[in-house]
Structure 1
Amino acid sequence: MLQAAVLADDFSGATEMAGVASRFGLRVVLQTNVPHGQPEKCDVLVLDTDSRMMTDEAAADRVREFANGLKQLNPPAIYKKTDSVLRGQIAAEIGTLLVVFELPGCLFIPANPSRQRVIRDGHYFVEGKPLAEIDAFANDPTHPANTNAVAELLRDESGRIQIPNIESEDEIRRQAAAKPADHLAAGAADFFAAWLAEVTGQNTPVQAGTISFSPQKTLWVCGSHAAWPDRKREFAEHGIPVQLIDQSPRFGETEPVLALGTGDETHPDPAALLESIAESVAKLIEENAADFLLLEGGGTARAVIDHFGWTDFSVLAEIAPGTVAVRSGHSPVLLVKPGSYPWPERVWQFFE
């Protein structure tokens, strides 16, 4: 029986939410299409609207289409997943959901104190540093953080979105318990976990999942320019061979793993880069029967799954918070995480 539904604006955010829900022992279905009927054996339905890179108007239209389909399922509770550092068209998407579901307001908590991402006096800090002073976020090619003020990042003109200061997980739990029943819940993973505990009445301790890891061929894909310097260093430290997208990448004859990267230079056309990544991944899978894909960043993951036409996913395991293994039918196992998160140590240990 459906207990809750989630709308995320990118695929890695959707898998992150699916992982949190599976942590509670709930049955999760993740879809990338507008819902047309309730999935079987589903407690939590997670939808990826793939709207983060759109304009305000286009994102609102996309979310409205998904929300109208979701409304037919009459979910008891709805959560809007956003980027934790407020990238995307958040105010437009939340505003659309308030209209479709006829709600008076929204409690929005993008802070993720478990990752040292907090809101203090209305300003956003990551590991103690103001958001706009962190190069990876200040120089984001599509959503640069040019201010630390959360209200300015949100750009809400309706006055219906409440954003409390949050510096601890205890504060998040208190906010989740006090949220008005007629208000939309929105934000990042920490708030979702606290909200889901309230909605379902479950408070299962966090336990990382496990998967059987014995693939014949593993393809590791980093489509994030900001993450590439760190990832390139980590690949070298772990002895993982690296090839670039524009080098006609191929697996070595005796190598079971290959890392695919974008290179050090910023690509002038991000959309074209994602298309190139998807085509390279498809070729490598078809030629080498790669059966395990590690995908970094929602845009990269979505480009790959769209290329193959994968739309419905089951959750295999939450390897660590934010890093989740999913599969669509007989697809390879996909291990997905947001681009701004590091790969957990458990993943690197697979290759030692």
Structure 2
Amino acid sequence: MKLLMIADDFTGALDAGVQFAKKGFSTKVLVYSKDMSFQAEDADVLVVDAETRHKKPLEAYLTIFRIVKPAAESGVKYLFKKTDSALRGNIGAELTAMLDATGKSLLSFVPAFPQINRVTVNGVHYIEGIPVDRSVFGSDPFEPVTEANVEKLIHQQCETNVQTISAGHTPDACQEKTIAVYDCASDEELKGIADSLKKTDSLGLIAGCAGLAEILPDVLGWPKSETTQPRLPEKFLVVCGSVNPITVRQLNYAEKHGFIRIQLTPEQKLNMEYFSEEDGKKWLDWFWDICSKNSKVIIDTNDPEGDNETERFAIANGIPKSEIPVRIPASLGCIIGNMVKRGLNSSMLMTGGDTLLGCIRNLGNAQLTPVGEFEIGIVLSKLISDNNKTHVFTKSGGFGEETLLTDMADKICRRA
């Protein structure tokens, strides 16, 4: 194994892993388990989904430490903490765990992803020119990003020393464990930072998002090979578990332009027994018929605009608010798992790592391997289960233009 990457959710793991897979490097994506052995892995790149996005900081720290410590001791040369390009998750706790587990004094962190207009200037992180805490990510109903200054955001969870590094500069000598946060506002600056880290032999412990992962093989001089894209089913099923306003706009636009949109009821989303009962089984038969007869379908867990019926249902049935983002992916996983087991012949797009993981867990022995990118931020993976083989696109809820779904449908549903 040449490189170990650790992400905090499944979508992030695939975003990072595909940067290597599309260049011909054997890449495996796994969900963390306590009995994981790095000696048993023969892939060039192993990407571990630590599932820490929604954990408390201490729990996230301990999980990352437990992953990285044995990897460092076994001699893995390159360790990469994949972070969210909108700075969601336990950034400070997890970067500190990387330092503590390796015993190194410096971790180099490049939060920016200039290709999708997410940049860091004077230590402040921007989404399309807006400080991240004032963007859509600052109004997330479950886990808003509350700080755009990266140093301050890190220090919300730890006391680790932080240096903010301006473009073209390098960190001062480290007398204590340090996270070096790099300003980066362009692809050229990103490449310059990576080249500088190579020259100073500092690529062994790094953090950043998919933009940094994409250029890493070339910076390291790894020989790449050509890959081919598989032929896809010419039906398109969008599986949405994201409440991000960007995704909601995409769903609304798609519905107005030919997609059939199915919105789950609060009971279907939150009653864990629903799909094992008679009404739920009949609904699954009905949904199978919808998918079989239509080329462009959306299944959506958002409430109708201006309504909070899911939260009201949760209150009425004694379901804690913290359980809502856990139950919804599980219900989606049940539905999509059932469709896959029946032999679903559609190309699927899943929004949000929780949505995808819910499906994988429902399928039991399923394996997911990244194979390429539809475009930046949209990963194509091969999904193999006991009953079926299919392909799945994944994207973050906060990614893409309003026309994304219809643009994808135009390319996928060629004969529809």
Same fold (TM over 0.5): yes
Q: Which residue number in structure 1 is paired with residue 142 of structure 2?
A: 142
Q: Which residue number in structure 2 is paired with residue 26 of structure 1?
A: 25
Q: Which residue number in structure 1 is paired with residue 46 of structure 2?
A: 45
Map residues 149-164 of structure 1 onto 2, 5 A cutoff.
149-155=149-155, 156-159=158-161, 160-164=178-182
- Which of residues 331, 338, 347 is equivalent to 2:396? 338
**Matches of 1:139 and 1:225, distance apart in 2:** 11
**Matches of 2:264 and 2:336, distance apart in 1:** 9
**Deviations 1:240-275 (Å, cap 9, x if unpaired)?**
211012264614262244211012355442212222
Answer 1 or 2: higher relative contact order, Cα 8 Å, separation at least 6: 1
**Deviations 1:64-110 (Å, cap 9, x if unpaired)?**
23224534653221111010111111111111121222211211111
**Matches of 2:2 and 2:240, distance apart in 1:** 34
**Matches of 1:214 and 1:291, distance apart in 2:** 5
| Shift in alpha-carbon separation, 1:87–1:210, aligned structure 2, 3 A | same
Q: Which residue number in structure 1 is paired with residue 57 of structure 2?
A: 56
Partner SS state of residue 170, structure 1: helix
Q: Which residue number in structure 2 is paired with residue 270 of structure 1?
A: 325
8 Å contact 2:24–2:227 — kept in the other structure?
Answer: no
**Matches of 1:24 and 1:105, distance apart in 2:** 29
Deviation at 1:312, TM superposition (A): 4.0
**Matches of 2:54 and 2:335, distance apart in 1:** 22
8 Å contact 1:223–1:300 — kept in the other structure?
Answer: yes
Q: Residue 329 in 1 paired to residue 384 in 2? A: yes
**Matches of 1:168 and 1:202, distance apart in 2:** 25
Q: Which residue number in structure 2 is paired with residue 197 of structure 1?
A: 218
8 Å contact 1:10–1:298 — kept in the other structure?
Answer: yes
Partner SS state of residue 163, structure 1: strand
**Matches of 1:329 and 1:203, distance apart in 2:** 25
Q: Which residue number in structure 1 is paired with residue 193 of structure 2?
A: 175
Which moved further from structure 2: 2-11 or 233-242? 233-242
Q: Which residue number in structure 2 is paired with residue 166 of structure 1?
A: 184
Residue-pair matches, total: 347
**Deviations 1:296-350 (Å, cap 9, x if unpaired)?**
1112112221222356432232222221222243443221112211247445421
Q: Residue 301 in 1 paired to residue 356 in 2? A: yes
Which moved further from structure 2: 232-241 or 153-162? 232-241
Q: Residue 245 in 1 paired to residue 264 in 2? A: yes
8 Å contact 2:99–2:106 — kept in the other structure?
Answer: yes
Deviation at 1:291, TM superposition (A): 5.1
**Matches of 1:157 and 1:192, distance apart in 2:** 27
**Matches of 2:227 and 2:249, distance apart in 1:** 24
**Matches of 1:29 and 1:147, distance apart in 2:** 33
Q: Residue 261 in 1 paired to residue 300 in 2? A: yes
1:139 maps to amino acid: S
RMSD, matched Cα:
2.6
| Shift in alpha-carbon separation, 1:214–1:340, aligned structure 2, 3 A | same
Deviation at 1:57, TM superposition (A): 1.1
**Matches of 1:300 and 1:111, distance apart in 2:** 25
Partner SS state of residue 201, structure 2: coil
Partner SS state of residue 95, structure 1: helix
Deviation at 1:220, TM superposition (A): 1.6
Q: Which residue number in structure 2 is paired with residue 313 of structure 1?
A: 368
Q: Which runs of 5+ in 2 are unaligned?
A: 162-177, 269-282, 312-323
**Matches of 2:71 and 2:237, distance apart in 1:** 34
8 Å contact 1:78–1:184 — kept in the other structure?
Answer: yes
**Deviations 1:175-204 (Å, cap 9, x if unpaired)?**
111224356210111122233322344588
2:43 maps to amino acid: C
Partner SS state of residue 24, structure 1: coil
Larger helix share, 1 or 2: 2
Deviation at 1:218, TM superposition (A): 4.5
* TM-score for both structures, normalised by structure 2: 0.76
| Shift in alpha-carbon separation, 1:287–1:329, aligned structure 2, 3 A | closer
2:337 maps to amino acid: A
**Matches of 1:62 and 1:243, distance apart in 2:** 37
Pick the structure with greater CA Rg. Answer: 2
Q: Which residue number in structure 1 is paired with residue 319 of structure 2?
A: none
**Deviations 1:8-29 (Å, cap 9, x if unpaired)?**
1111111111111123321211
8 Å contact 1:284–1:290 — kept in the other structure?
Answer: no
**Matches of 1:328 and 1:282, distance apart in 2:** 11
Q: Which residue number in structure 2 is paired with residue 13 of structure 1?
A: 12
Which moved further from structure 2: 59-68 or 95-104? 59-68
| Shift in alpha-carbon separation, 1:81–1:116, aligned structure 2, 3 A | same
Deviation at 1:280, TM superposition (A): 2.3
Partner SS state of residue 25, structure 1: coil
* TM-score for both structures, normalised by structure 1: 0.88
**Deviations 1:130-186 (Å, cap 9, x if unpaired)?**
22222x212112321233222222224211111121111111111111224356210
**Matches of 1:80 and 1:63, distance apart in 2:** 9
Q: Residue 185 in 1 paired to residue 206 in 2? A: yes
8 Å contact 1:15–1:337 — kept in the other structure?
Answer: no
Counting aligned pairs with the same residue, the percent is 22
Q: Which residue number in structure 2 is paired with residue 124 of structure 1?
A: 125
8 Å contact 2:366–2:384 — kept in the other structure?
Answer: no
Q: Which runs of 5+ in 1 are unaligned?
A: none
